[in-house]
A = this chain, B = another copy of it.
Amino acid sequence: MSDDSTPQRPFRDGPSHDALPPVAQHARQYETVRNAHETELIEDYVELIGDLLDHRGEARAADIANRMAVSQATVSKMIRRLNELGLVTSQPYRSLFLTDEGRKMAQTSRGRHDIVLHFLRALGVPDSTARIDAEGMEHHVSDETLAIMQRFTDEKDA
């Protein structure tokens, strides 16, 4: 463990850099991101399925594959996983449905997504860019920040 015993070396003369955060805190940042990665794809699928159900009354694997730009095989495999996780129910060759838990996740995810999207628009980001950024950002924004974004958007719109 060579870390964090070494006092600051007098090496730099460049622009001022922030100090490195303490190891434990730094580590927690990365852990949080890794954890988010584990759930975000799941959430994206569930959210999309929820949207399809709302807007079209059904969610077919082919539609999901299209919208995700992914092969049907990938979707099929993922659906099995969602099934095991108790998020969707499906009979073979039939349209999908969300379980209660799945519906809850879809709703939450939807909510976060909307807050981020509206926030970006309120900030002045053009729609098509806002959509793309929101998709990536939504899984990495804490509840705390989310609340602040919400507040910002509300004030802007008021």
Contacts and interface: CB of A to CB of B under 8 A. Distances in A.
A39 interface: no
A74 to B, nearest CB: 11
Tell me whether chain A's interface is mostly helix, strand or loop, or mixed. helix
Given A57-B11, A60-B2, A137-B140, A67 B30 contact: yes
Contacts of A1: 62, 66
Interface in A16-48: 17-21, 23, 25-33, 36-37, 44
Interface string A44-83: 1000000110111100101100111110000000000000
A12 B141 contact: no
Copies of this chain, how many?
2
Interface of A: 1-3, 6, 8-9, 11-12, 14, 17-21, 23, 25-33, 36-37, 44, 51-52, 54-57, 60, 62-63, 66-70, 114, 120, 123-126, 128-133, 135-137, 139-142, 144-145, 148-149, 152
25 contacts: A3-B62, A12-B54, A14-B54, A21-B131, A23-B66, A26-B67, A27-B67, A28-B69, A28-B132, A29-B135, A32-B132, A33-B136, A37-B37, A120-B145, A126-B144, A129-B144, A129-B145, A133-B140, A133-B141, A133-B142, A136-B140, A137-B137, A137-B140, A137-B141, A140-B140
